[in-house]
Structure 1
Amino acid sequence: MKILISTIFDYPHEGGLSTHITTLKKGLIEHGHEVDILSWSDCSKRHRLFIRGLTFSIKRMNKGKGQLFGDRQRMNWLKRKLAKIYQEYDVVNTQDIFATLAAKDLNIKTVQTVHGYYTYEATSRGAIQNQSPEAHQAKRYEQEAYTSADDIVCVDQRLKEYVRAESGREAHMIHNSVDSSLFNISSEEIDQVRQTYQLPKDQSILLVPRRLTEKNGVIYPILALPKILKQFPNTLLVYAGSGELIDTLKQVASKLNASSHIAFLGSVPHSDMIGLYKLTDIVLIPSIHAKGVEEATSIAALEGMTAGKPVIAGAVGGLKELIQHQENGLLFENKNEHDLAEQVLSLLNNSELSHALAKNAQHYVERNHSHLASARTILEIYSS
């Protein structure tokens, strides 16, 4: 089978979507199929700059209009590219609603993978104003995409229910997956990552591998940090990711006199992320419920578990499906920094519990989130 994976976003880029595409492609190829990727990164630099300039100008007048304009322009470019090549493929697996709409009028079988809530996420990060005409239009785009796809895959149960409520369609549910072989790295490679990011060996490291946006709850580890430092003053909170909340996080850290215990690494290549997981003591996935948005089956959580580290996550969305509290990780109450601090302290005070959770998590991912098993399941959907 010849498969095209398409998206209006850049590839590769920071975040779970890019990792999902890489992992899916590898699994499909290992099953003997041919896979290509078509993304916004394939667009010419000149056209990208032209669209970026127009989008920026419109956003200055109306953020929401600018957001939708930019995404529609990416969709139109993708549609033109697809029109030239779609006959080469048996199926296109779209990774966002606009990629689905780009394929809508072409005679090609389309499977959409739903990773999140386009409208709610755009309003959550301030790209579109809640209840605005642009928000209503965005929701119509979602509904049109879900209706037009030949089949739909969601990465958690809540997303599956959301698609049903918005479109009446029944979707398949396939959790995100991880290629565990990537985590077989040497101590020398781990030390190189430590040196690259100037991370000490003599401190307990709490890693937040998250884009710095509201739904990811990235403010809560900082709010929890003072309580943690009272018992474990030799603790370093490390953020690996970029986003619109960076200035806010730094201001809050300063007010709490915690800046010296926090490192902001910015965007980190995925190859380095593996080393970061390996040198970390605890992985934090502090996602929250924000403006209708909840975390799906977090790839960052899966990667932390695969790396053999204890994961503490917000008790929301797909994270509650992934992590069984006190069995293969810990959950903390939504938006409750005190509970988060207590969960961190429970691990720092009990190395046996930390080790047991990490070991159980590793085994759980191996059994339930293999990239080969996920690829096999989605191939059955392609074939049908």
Structure 2
Amino acid sequence: MANGMTRVLHILDHSLPLQSGYTFRTRAILKAQDGLGHAVRGLTGLRHTAPLTGVEPEIHDDLPFYRTPGKPSGPPGLSEWQEIGAIARRIEAAAREWRPEVLHAHSPALGGLAAVRAGRRLGLPVVYEIRAFWEDAAVGNGTGNEGSLRYRLTRALENEVVRGAEAVVTICDGLRGDLVARGFPAEKITVMPNGVDLALFGQPLARDADFARSLGLGDGPVIGFLGSFYPYEGLDDLIAAMPMILARQPDARLLLVGGGPAEAELRAAAAASSAAHAIHFIGRVPHHEVDRYYALVDVVCYPRKAMRLTDLVTPLKPLEAMAQGKLVAASSVGGHRELIADGMTGTLFPPDDPAGLAAAMADLLEDREMWPARRTVARAFVERAHDWSRNAVRYDSVYQTLLTRKQAISGSAA
């Protein structure tokens, strides 16, 4: 490490050009670290599904990424073991070429285990960053069951990475607290909260009234959700609340932008609702067009259901909405409470309760005089505590501690 610059190789499940909350956080981290003077590259495992270009490293948005060729194959257990080996070998090859000083692996655990294995062979410190517990994410997505064999094995692999890494990072206090409760030392775990790249989300567009009318939104007010339609997001509760919201706000409209596993059921529920005329599905839109739809929305609503995933993990979307100058309303699950101060930066309502959601939303829509102040306070909160250009500095102390420790060990060995 020289002149404050560190060479960091980030090990990732997937990356740009794929678009997801995972890739957007990765992009923000790498861009911010690059802006601070660090040299950064990414390396993806076998789960990255974009076609390989044949050029190494691939460049996307001026960021370089190494790829691990191949696809997962074979029976469960053996397939994952082979996958870890393939990623570890790719890390070693990239490290011999590029000479990183730190391996920074991001969940899930397969990449983390590969980084720990490669780090030991290379003599490089490993930072492991947990964005969510993937066994809980599988439950939330409807692809897993809490307490199942797969759930327990995924949790055991995560524990193995946490033990093997020199430092651990989580995106929120909920995840950190859960690891400490498992017996891991608190001093090993640092919180790097979700952030917003204000260069991307900090300049909201003006509302296009003609565009709003073309979508059937009229003059509003407009409640919006922009994101993935997973069961745990609770959009069924929002749809169920719409008739009660219309009883107090007849001109209110609901704009749903995105798609996902729960989409078919949500569309059916909306079609059967007495508020069907006020619920508008847009489908997925390119990321560069999201701002245009944000501009149509007065209140962005996040009615997440209560479960381990939502209680432990802070989402990124409410921060993006605050940066866009939007009012935010959300269920009072743990992940939301860590981000939103009720009555100050947003409105909280009880989870899994359409009537409670409707009452809170109607109250918010009726109290328009406080909207400008709420938006100002929320935007200032993002700038102060969740701007990636500031948050990324927190990694520096973690890297510096590990490199100083490595130098001390090397010196004593000499």
Q: TM-score, normalised by structure 1?
A: 0.86
1:297 to 2:306 alignment: no
* Aligned match of 2:362: 345
* Aligned match of 2:331: 314
* Aligned match of 1:61: none
Rounded Cα–Cα distance in structure 2 between residues aligned with 1:71 and 1:249: 34
* Aligned match of 2:113: 101
* Aligned match of 1:62: none
Give 1:115's match in structure 2, choosing from 126, 131, 146.
131
Post-superposition CA distance 1:281-306 (Å, at most 9, x none) = 00112122225543623210001111
- Written as runs of structure 1 = structure 2, the 5 A alignment for 1:75-94 is 75-87=84-96, 88-94=99-105
Rounded Cα–Cα distance in structure 1 between residues aligned with 2:146 and 2:297: 38
Give 2:289's match in structure 1, choosing from 249, 272, 283.
272
- Written as runs of structure 1 = structure 2, the 5 A alignment for 1:302-381 is 302-381=319-398
* Aligned match of 2:197: 179
Is residue 125–residue 213 contact of structure 1 (8 Å, CA) maintained in 2? yes
Cα offset for 1:38? 2.0
SS in 1 for 2:338: helix
Give the root-mean-square deviation of aligned CA atoms.
3.0
Rounded Cα–Cα distance in structure 2 between residues aligned with 1:77 and 1:266: 37
Structure 1: which amino acid aligns with 2:102? V
Structure 2: which amino acid aligns with 1:86? A
Give 1:133's match in structure 2, choosing from 149, 153, 156.
149
Is residue 8–residue 103 contact of structure 2 (8 Å, CA) maintained in 1? yes
* Aligned match of 2:8: 3
Is residue 206–residue 284 contact of structure 1 (8 Å, CA) maintained in 2? yes
SS in 2 for 1:328: coil
Is residue 204–residue 295 contact of structure 2 (8 Å, CA) maintained in 1? no
Cα offset for 1:308? 0.9
Rounded Cα–Cα distance in structure 1 between residues aligned with 2:135 and 2:301: 26
Cα offset for 1:383? 1.6
1:27 to 2:42 alignment: no
- Whose Rg is larger? 2
Rounded Cα–Cα distance in structure 2 between residues aligned with 1:144 and 1:156: 20
Is residue 193–residue 276 contact of structure 1 (8 Å, CA) maintained in 2? no
* Aligned match of 2:409: none
Rounded Cα–Cα distance in structure 1 between residues aligned with 2:261 and 2:81: 22
* Aligned match of 2:233: 216
Rounded Cα–Cα distance in structure 2 between residues aligned with 1:235 and 1:8: 40
Give 1:38's match in structure 2, choosing from 39, 43, 51.
43
Is residue 255–residue 282 contact of structure 2 (8 Å, CA) maintained in 1? yes
Aligned CA distance change for structure 1 residues 132 and 36 (closer, same or farther; 3 Å): same
* Aligned match of 2:244: 227
Structure 2: which amino acid aligns with 1:82? I
Cα offset for 1:191? 4.2
Cα offset for 1:122? 1.2
Aligned CA distance change for structure 1 residues 235 and 295 (closer, same or farther; 3 Å): farther
Question: Could you say which structure has the greater relative contact order, defined with CA pairs below 8 angstroms and 6 or more residues apart?
Answer: 1
204-213 vs 155-164, which deviates more? 204-213
SS in 1 for 2:227: coil
Cα offset for 1:340? 1.3
Post-superposition CA distance 1:172-225 (Å, at most 9, x none) = 11211112232354757x649958x94645232211123211222222211111
Q: TM-score, normalised by structure 2?
A: 0.81
Rounded Cα–Cα distance in structure 2 between residues aligned with 1:186 and 1:299: 17
135-144 vs 290-299, which deviates more? 290-299
Gaps of 5+ in 1: 59-64
Is residue 146–residue 169 contact of structure 1 (8 Å, CA) maintained in 2? no
Structure 1: which amino acid aligns with 2:265? T
Rounded Cα–Cα distance in structure 1 between residues aligned with 2:267 and 2:68: 32
Is residue 305–residue 358 contact of structure 1 (8 Å, CA) maintained in 2? yes
Gaps of 5+ in 2: 1-5, 55-66, 402-414
Structure having the larger proportion of residues in helix: 1
